Amino acid sequence: MTDAPGAHLGERGESDRTRRKEAPRNDGAVPSGLGRLGGRAAEASWAVLKDLGSLTAQTYAVSRGFVPLVKLLAHENDITREELGAAIDAAFKGLYAHPVTRSTERVTEYLRKRRLIPNEQSTEELIRFVVDQMIQRSPVPVPGALVDEFWKFFNELFSSPELKGLGELTLDMTRLVVRTYEPLLVEVVNLLKAGRRFNQWQLQELLKRAQMVREDALIVRRQIKAIRYIKPFFQADPRDFKGQAKIVAQMVREFGPFFVKMAQVAASNADFLPEEIAKELAVFHEDVPPMNEREVNQAFLECYGKLPTELYMGFDAARPVKSGSIGSIYIAKKPFLENGAEVLRLVVIKVGRHNIDREFTIGKLVLGLAIMSSQYWAPHSKLAPFLRAMQEQVDEFIAGFTQELDFEEEARSHVRFYERSRQSYAWRVPGLYGYTRRILEMEYLSDATSLVQAIRRMPKSRRPAFRRQVTDRLLYTMLSHIFRYGEIHGDLHPGNIMVGSDGGLYLIDWGNTVALEGKWGVVWDYLAGACIADLELLTDTLIRVSTQPEENARRRAEIKAALEETLAKKGVVPLTRRNFIGELRRGGIEGLQRRGRTVLHLMANTQHAGVVLKRDYLHLSRALFAAAGSFGTLYESCPKRLLALDVAGGLVRLPLHVSRDLLHNGVQRWGARLLRWLPLPDAIKRRLAPPPQLPALAQPPA
């Protein structure tokens, strides 16, 4: 008899229930189908639990990373920038390690594959467009071999793995912004720590810093707005350098004082630019957009508590005689006491721009973000050392510019060189009457004009003699600064050289000076190593002048290989005792020029190798380039051979200049003694006496 279906089902159900109950006591055997399903479910459940556990642990670790920051803000003592930076770094360390941050690498890879954000193909298209534009706009034909070498390097670069995910890159950029504002955050936190002693003065200080952030936002907005000129620049005719120059100049003006200063540096290296662009940038040596009247009046209220019209006669805040990237120059009359009588004398007043330090800080931030964001557009690991070195090099370069923002330091340098100039007939420095944080008051030079204007006003028949005289004096002045005082003017471009009616040189704008003590040996080693292509000497010298010599010493082989590769590409053969004469003869003038250009190429290559040069050596090179640019301005539209001949003649005549300086000092010294002994009326003695020496440091005017 056949059993009922329900009976079998009941038996199987009962049997299954029995086996499930007995499962823990047997050898673990289960039906194969149900076992596989149960195993996969268990593995999936375990994976989910594991991920949740890891996420929970990492989230807890992130919260612990903020503990040092919370403790730092909670205790009553003031904090330092180093303490705040370390606490913020600890917090970011946890954020970097969080699974969500790490997972963005997969999200980034997915988005790049779907072309939702820039990928290798879009980066390649962008770079090809830029390279094509550079080739079209080059003032000289670009060799095909050079282009082929670039694309070979490009293909090798793109074969490397992706650099960073969007999450990690976002944290990098956020950390950069926070690092920029760390000094401001320290001030805000320390003000808040005043607690119960918080009063109206502190509230005003906080509002000032809030206003600073708002003004920073305006600076960033203005600089970003200036980027709109990039489009018309690329739309211009590649061969129309004059049109391109006007676009670049207008963009620099809108970017503001920081980029005006960068344009001045570029103009000092005009040999590397098309002539039209070099001339347009040279305008920034002479004049830039002035400050407005409100800003000038505010500077006087901050420094003196008075308007300029209360201190001077004929001061017109709306009409400066000259404007620069740091400030504007005004001329007015001021009463002086001379021999008991009050007389009016013309004075020069230099007024610093408002918020100029923030202009430089924000400019540095914008450049840093631009460099860092390039990892987003070209996400490849081989770019990392180069971009890091470039960003650090920009920081070092800008740090030297900030020296010019301190008018009190400028006053000290001005008086120091003023005292030295009294011992020479060849160069002079106008007297300094007073100074404040934003205002300098100086002697008015009635018979002096700028170097550029002096050349333009000079009849063509007299220009050769004028050039020789100025070249002799400028060359002697620079050499005396270098070898006698061990300190040089840091920005001796044509706008900072005035020429008197007697051909004498007046050097102005002492906001940036470069001390040479302990540097010339290293500079000589670098120049010698670059010219003779001595790899050992070059490598050791660059390590010595880098910001991290100990770390770079461990990478010596890598740095040497990068330098060797550059020399090989440039066709520069090392010179030894055996081949010295033969190589120079084979290379000729072109070979010498190639060796000279190698100096700059090697500096750029060190950044590719991750080497960052110290700011002192960067600004020493800037000072030398600026001085060389002044010589170039003197001999503009003249054969370079003429400049070389006049410089050589100036070197030959150096002993004569030294003798004239010794005679000048002797005459002054004996003349003063003679005037004390001669029975002449006091009025005549005062007229014949040399001008009195200023005190060691001029004090602010009352």
The one-letter code for the residue type at 323 is: S
The label of the residue with tokens 């060190």 reads 606
The one-letter code for the residue type at 701 is: P
C-alpha R_g of the chain: 35
The label of the residue with tokens 């100086």 reads 442
Q: What is the DSSP secondary-structure string of 57-110?
A: HHHHHHHHHTHHHHHHHHSSS---HHHHHHHHHHHHHHHHHSHHHHHHHHHHHH
- Who has greater pLDDT, 466 or 3? 466
Q: Give the C-alpha separation, 178 to 359, whole Å.
A: 17
Domain ranges of the chain: 62-223, 449-652
Distances (CA, A) of 251 to 183, 221, 232: 30, 14, 11
The arithmetic mean of pLDDT across residues 487-499, rounded, is: 87
Q: What is the pLDDT of residues 42-83, one digit of tens each?
A: 555 555 555 555 667 667 777 777 888 888 888 778 888 888
Coil, strand, or helix at residue 511? coil
Per-residue confidence (pLDDT) for residue 34, from 0 to 100: 47
- Smallest Cα–Cα separation from 104: which of 95, 520, 519, 316? 95
How many percent of the chain have pLDDT more than 70?
A: 70
DSSP percent split of the chain into helix, strand, coil, nearest 5: 70, 10, 25
Where residue 314 falls (left for φ over 0; alpha for ψ -120 to 50; beta otherwise) is left
Q: What is the mean pLDDT of the chain?
A: 76
Coil, strand, or helix at residue 548? coil
3-state secondary structure 424-484: CCCEECCCEEEECCCEEEEECCCCCEEHHHHHHHCCHHHHHHHHHHHHHHHHHHHHHHHHH
Task: Say whether pLDDT at 116 is over 70.
Answer: yes
Q: Where residue 28 falls among pLDDT bands split at 50, 70, 90?
A: very low
Per-residue confidence (pLDDT) for residue 415, from 0 to 100: 92
Q: Where residue 104 falls among pLDDT bands split at 50, 70, 90?
A: confident
Coil, strand, or helix at residue 506? strand
Q: Give the C-alpha separation, 281 to 334, whole Å.
A: 35
Q: Give the C-alpha separation, 29 to 249, whole Å.
A: 84
Q: Give the C-alpha separation, 345 to 393, whole Å.
A: 46
| In contact, 382 and 160? CB cutoff 8 Å | yes
Per-residue confidence (pLDDT) for residue 296, from 0 to 100: 93
Of the candidate ranges 195-204, 417-426, 596-605, the one whose mean pLDDT is the lowest: 596-605
| In contact, 407 and 320? CB cutoff 8 Å | no
Which is it for strands 341-352 and 439-443: parallel, antiparallel or unpaired? antiparallel
The label of the residue with tokens 């056949």 reads 2
Distances (CA, A) of 316 to 39, 291, 561, 602: 89, 12, 60, 50
Per-residue confidence (pLDDT) for residue 507, from 0 to 100: 94
The arithmetic mean of pLDDT across residues 394-403, rounded, is: 69
Per-residue confidence (pLDDT) for residue 20, from 0 to 100: 43
The arithmetic mean of pLDDT across residues 520-541, rounded, is: 82
Q: What is the pLDDT of residues 567-576, one digit of tens each?
A: 887 777 777 7
- Smallest Cα–Cα separation from 166: which of 377, 438, 477? 377
Q: What is the pLDDT of residues 629-650, one digit of tens each?
A: 788 888 877 887 788 888 888 8
Per-residue confidence (pLDDT) for residue 383, from 0 to 100: 54
Q: How many CB atoms lie within 10 A of CB 437?
A: 13
